Chains A and B, each alone.
Chain A
Amino acid sequence: MDPVKDSARAIAREVNARAVSATEVAERLIPHVERVDGQLGAYLQLTPDLMRAHARRVDERVAAGERLPLAGVPVALKDNMCLTGTRTTAGSKILENFVAPYTATAVQRLLDAGALPIGKTNLDEFAMGSSGENSAFGATRNPYDLDRVPGGSSAGSAASVGGFTATLSLGSDTGGSIREPAAFCNVVGFKPTYGRVSRYGLIAFASSLDQIGPFARTVEDAALAYDVIAGKDPLDATSVDREVEATAGDLRDDLRGVRVGIVKEFGLGELDAASRACYEAAYADLERLGAELVEVALPTAKYGLATYYLIAPAECSSNLARFDGVRYGLRVDGSDVGEMYERTRAAGFGAEVKRRILIGTYALSSGYYDAYYLKAQKARTRIAEDFARAFERCDVIAAPAAASPAFRFNAKNDPVTMYLMDYYTIPGSLAGLPSLSVPCGAAVPEDGTRSMPMGLQLTSPLFTERALLGVAHAYERATMHAEKLTPPETCNT
Chain B
Amino acid sequence: MPSDRIDIRHVARLARLALTNEEIATFGPQLGDLMAHVDDLAQLDTQDVAATAQVVPSRNVQRADGLRPETMVSHDAALANAPQRQGPFFRVPRIIAEEG
With A354-B23, A357-B15, A379-B41 in contact, is A331–B84 under 8 Å at CB?
Answer: yes
Which of B41, B73, B83 has a CB less than 8 Å from the CB of A330? B83
Interface contacts (Cβ under 8 Å), in number, total: 172
What's the interface size class on A, roughly? 35 or more
Complex Cα distance A391/B44, Å? 22
Which B residues, 63 to 88, have Cβ-Cβ distances below 8 Å to chain A? 63, 71, 73, 77-78, 80-84
Determine how close the nearest CB of chain B comes to the CB of A265; give it in whole angstroms. 14
Residues of A close to B41: CB separation below 8 A:
303, 306-307, 310, 375-376, 379
- Which of A237, A305, A362 has the largest number of chain B CB atoms within 10 A? A362
- Closest residue of chain A to B49 (Cβ to Cβ) is A378
Question: Cβ of B58 and Cβ of A329 under 8 Å apart?
Answer: no
Residues of B close to A333: CB separation below 8 A:
93
Determine how close the nearest CB of chain B comes to the CB of A400; give it in whole angstroms. 20
Q: Summarize A's interface: helix, strand, loop or mixed.
A: helix
Residues of B close to A238: CB separation below 8 A:
54, 56, 58
With A330-B83, A358-B31, A384-B52 in contact, is A306–B38 under 8 Å at CB?
Answer: yes
- Closest residue of chain A to B83 (Cβ to Cβ) is A331
Determine how close the nearest CB of chain B comes to the CB of A410; give it in whole angstroms. 16
Residues of B close to A310: CB separation below 8 A:
38, 41
Residues of A close to B1: CB separation below 8 A:
368, 371-372
Complex Cα distance A325/B91, Å? 10
Question: Cβ of A98 and Cβ of B56 under 8 Å apart?
Answer: no
With A354-B23, A416-B33 in contact, is A324–B16 under 8 Å at CB?
Answer: yes
Determine how close the nearest CB of chain A comes to the CB of B41; give it in whole angstroms. 5
Determine how close the nearest CB of chain A comes to the CB of B63; give it in whole angstroms. 7
Which B residues, 4 to 28, have Cβ-Cβ distances below 8 Å to chain A? 6, 8, 11-12, 14-20, 23, 26-27
Q: Summarize B's interface: helix, strand, loop or mixed.
A: loop
Residues of A close to B53: CB separation below 8 A:
208, 377
Residues of B close to A375: CB separation below 8 A:
41-42, 46
Which of A341, A378, A430 has a CB less than 8 Å from the CB of B51? A378
Determine how close the nearest CB of chain A comes to the CB of B18; give it in whole angstroms. 4
Question: Cβ of B17 and Cβ of A346 under 8 Å apart?
Answer: yes
Residues of A close to B38: CB separation below 8 A:
306, 309-310, 372
Residues of A close to B78: CB separation below 8 A:
101
Complex Cα distance A467/B64, Å? 36
Question: Cβ of A99 and Cβ of B52 under 8 Å apart?
Answer: no
- Closest residue of chain B to A194 (Cβ to Cβ) is B56
Question: Cβ of B15 and Cβ of A317 under 8 Å apart?
Answer: yes
Q: A430-B55, A462-B56 are in contact. List 6 more A-B contacts (CB 8 A).
A: A317-B15, A351-B27, A355-B30, A375-B41, A382-B46, A462-B55
Report 11 cross-chain contacts, Cβ distance below 8 Å, ordered by A residue: A194-B56, A238-B54, A306-B38, A306-B41, A328-B82, A330-B83, A335-B93, A375-B42, A378-B50, A380-B51, A381-B50
Q: Which 6 A-B residue pairs are closest in the complex by CB-CB distance?
A: A432-B55, A331-B83, A328-B81, A377-B51, A378-B46, A342-B18
List residues of A whose CB falls within 8 A of some B CB. 97-99, 101-102, 193-195, 208, 234-235, 237-238, 240, 300, 302-303, 305-307, 309-310, 317, 321, 324-331, 333-343, 345-346, 349, 351, 354-355, 357-359, 361-362, 365, 368, 371-372, 374-382, 384, 414-416, 419, 430-432, 462
